Amino acid sequence: MKKILIADDHAIVRRGLRLLLLEEYPSAEIGEAGDAETLVNKIIQQEWDVVICDISMPGRSGLDALSQIKQIAPKLPVLIMSMYPEDQYALRVLKAGAAGYLGKETIHDDIVKAIQTVQLGKKFITPTIAEKLAKAFEVDTTDQLHEKLSDREFDVFKMLASGKAVSEIANQFALSVTTVSTYRSRVLEKMGMKSNADLTRYALEKKLI
């Protein structure tokens, strides 16, 4: 019997994935978590075969949780799902130790194959990600300023570049305005930029928004 743990802050998403998985694995034990803390606690409390985790959750993100999960259960395959395009987050997710990346637009088609793949000890990599990986070896990384950012800084960068106010970002991530302002300062410093407009211009050039 497979034990699959789903982490997403939207109950409707968890319910949809549960129904989808039970069609393929009728006897599976499906666990649910609505935030990163609950996810990590459930992994500490019992063993799972696969974890499917949303990249964006209030408070700690899925990538933050992934880092801790790899310390607790290094061999546990974690599939990260997101509404963001593969070319924006896939490499970052794989570098962080995820077993694969699932876009929410195609998750219904990919999830069963992804689970079967990671259960064999392999990475689930779509053709789009494979092409991105190949190009990563060709691109001059000195031109990819956003690659200098931590996962949380990258999240903040994208929201700033999209025109979000610091207060909106703080609310989205359940962080204080002061903390988000600190992240903003780090992003500007690491990328050698002076304003949100600079970030927006860069993001548009790199097709990150």
Above pLDDT 90, what percent of the chain? 64
83 and 155 share one domain: no
What pLDDT digit, counting tens, does each position of 109-163 carry? 999 999 999 999 999 998 878 877 777 666 555 568 998 898 889 989 999 999 9
- CATH number (domain holding residue 95): 3.40.50.2300
Residue 91's nearest CA partner among 32, 31, 154 is 154
39 and 92 share one domain: yes
Domain count for the chain? 2
119 and 186 share one domain: no
125 and 200 share one domain: no
120 and 160 share one domain: no
β-strands 29-33, 50-54 pairing: unpaired
69 and 11 share one domain: yes
- Give phi and psi for 37, each to the nearest 5: -65, -45
129 and 58 share one domain: yes
15 and 101 share one domain: yes
Confidence bin at 103 (pLDDT 50/70/90)? confident
For residue 95, give its domain range. Answer: 3-136
Domain end position, chosen among 136, 163, 184: 136
Residue 200's nearest CA partner among 174, 162, 173 is 162
101 and 200 share one domain: no
167 and 67 share one domain: no
7 and 65 share one domain: yes
Domain end position, chosen among 110, 136, 162: 136
**Of 24-38, 69-83, 140-154, minimum mean pLDDT range:** 140-154
118 and 160 share one domain: no
d(CA 21, CA 17): 6
Q: Residue 137's pLDDT is what?
A: 63
Distances (CA, A) of 69 to 25, 44, 65, 191: 24, 9, 6, 29
